Amino acid sequence: MDAVIVGTGHTRFGKLDALSLEDLIQEAAREALADAGVGGSDVDGVWLGHFNSGLVPDGFCSSMILHADEGLRFKPAMRCENACASGSAALYAALDAVNSGRCRIALVVGVEKMTGLDTAGVTRALGGAAYQAEEADMSFPQIFAHFAQAYAEAYEDPGEAMARISVKNHANAMRNPLAHMRRLVEFDYCMAVSDKNPMIAPPLKLSDCSLITDGAAAVVVAHRSVLGQFKRAVGFRAAEMVSDFLPLSAKRPEKFEGPTMAVRRAYAQAGVGVDDIDLAEVHDCFTIAELLSVEALGLAAPGQGSAIVREGQTEREGRLPINLSGGLKAKGHPVGATGVSMHVLIARQLLGEAGEMQLERTPELGLCLNMGGGAVNSAVSILEPVKA
């Protein structure tokens, strides 16, 4: 693959009242351009990942990126929407343009401004990613509760594993200065229903749900033919996207078929297996999604992921560290930004530039699993340093 990441940008994630959608887009874009050492005039195309669905009034926002650098004016800009995988959709569209040779340098930003609405408003907006003919009255916690219920019926109660995933990801976020929630949670707290940890959609409690967050992330992608002008780069060993049926009723949720298929195709494209991957960022919109991702990655057979989690194999010092950033659970989940954020943080790990999050041994291969809807769209990238 000819496309490589040569610059990254990432705002803080959180409730950022002082920053508008436009502010977030431009902050991330400017950082990525500066990191790559290029100006807007060097960029051939711009892509924005943004879900929106009524979260903010600005639906036509792709051109907001252009104000990040005056050299971007009159460059083609496009918004990509694919629910929670909108960021990866934008990135993959840019990869296609660069790999085809149509663009030499592309700028990709993922963004969401979510905290301007109350929880009920955000819940309604996110519900737009569900199958309205059958699921219009279901919230996304209810949709992923369906995954957890199906898992319990097919295999075993996932409650203990989900609690351990929450504890791990909050601990990881303590090392991430960009994370929304840098606060430890205890296993007993995550296991129990209480006033501070209410049941949201049985069996999912508040401690199983990702955060309503503002934030943006950006990457500059370049063709290998111009690699000589950049100081370091991260390449794609694989970039695979799979779309499954939209209705929950058309799938077997406990099988996590779409993400599993995307992972298998990515491994095949890269010529690697799970044992070759040094770290992963996966889409833990709800803790059950990370448990299912453990199995989709091939760390465990279907129904056996709880043991992997209990043994600490996905922790920082484990066999395959997952969500060193804190994941969506603690880093936060600004929907359109999430897929780009995953790529930024894996790229920084591969380049030894992840700060407090950095693994002691600089990894060689990192994996991103970004998912849209109820395992409807799955994007899996396998990244490697090509110039460090």
Note down the domain range covering 72: 3-117+212-229
Whether 237 is in a domain gets the answer no
Taking alpha carbons only, the member of 137, 153, 134, 130 closest to residue 84 is 130
Per annotation, catalytic residue among 50, 146, 333, 343: 333
Q: Is residue 344 included in any domain, yes or no?
A: no
pLDDT at 54: 77
Inside any domain, residue 84? yes
> From CA 256, how far away is CA 278, in angstroms rounded?
22
Residue 239 lies inside a defined structural domain of this protein: no
Please indicate, yes or no, if residue 13 is contained in any of the structural domains: yes
Whose tokens are 């929950």? That residue is: 248
Tell whether 9 is covered by a domain: yes
CB atoms within 10 A of CB 210: 27
Cα end-to-end distance, the chain, whole Å: 18
Cα R_g (the chain), whole angstroms: 19
Say what the pLDDT of residue 388 is: 67
Would you say 128 and 373 are in contact if contact means Cβ atoms under 8 Å apart? no
State if pTM tops 0.85: yes
203 preceded by a cis bond (ω within 30 of 0): yes
Q: Are 384 and 234 within 8 A, CB to CB?
A: yes
> Which is nearest to 24 in space by CA: 49, 54, 7?
49
Total domains in the chain come to 1
Torsion (CA) 225, 226, 231, 232 in degrees, nearest 10: -40
Q: Where are the beta strands (DSSP E) in 179-260?
A: 199-201, 204-205, 215-223, 233-243
List the chain pLDDT tens, one digit each, 388 residues.
999 999 999 999 999 999 999 999 999 999 999 999 999 999 999 999 999 787 888 778 999 999 999 999 999 999 999 999 999 999 999 999 999 999 999 999 999 999 998 999 999 988 988 899 999 999 999 999 999 999 999 999 999 999 999 999 999 999 999 999 999 999 999 999 999 999 999 999 999 999 999 999 999 999 999 999 999 999 999 999 999 999 999 999 999 999 999 999 999 999 999 999 999 999 999 999 999 999 999 999 999 999 999 999 999 999 999 999 999 999 999 999 999 999 999 999 999 999 999 999 989 999 999 999 999 999 999 999 997 6
Q: Which residues contact 207 (CB under 8 A, 6 or more apart)?
A: 163, 166, 185, 189, 190, 197, 287
Q: Is 333 a catalytic residue?
A: yes
Is 306 within 8 Å of 160 (Cβ atoms)?
A: yes
Asked if residue 28 is part of any domain, the answer here is yes
Point out the catalytic residue in the list 61, 80, 84, 368. Answer: 84
Q: For residue 220, what is the domain's CATH number?
A: 3.40.47.10
| Residue 86 belongs to some domain of the structure | yes
Torsion sign, CA atoms 28, 4, 320, 258: positive
What pLDDT was estimated at residue 57? 81
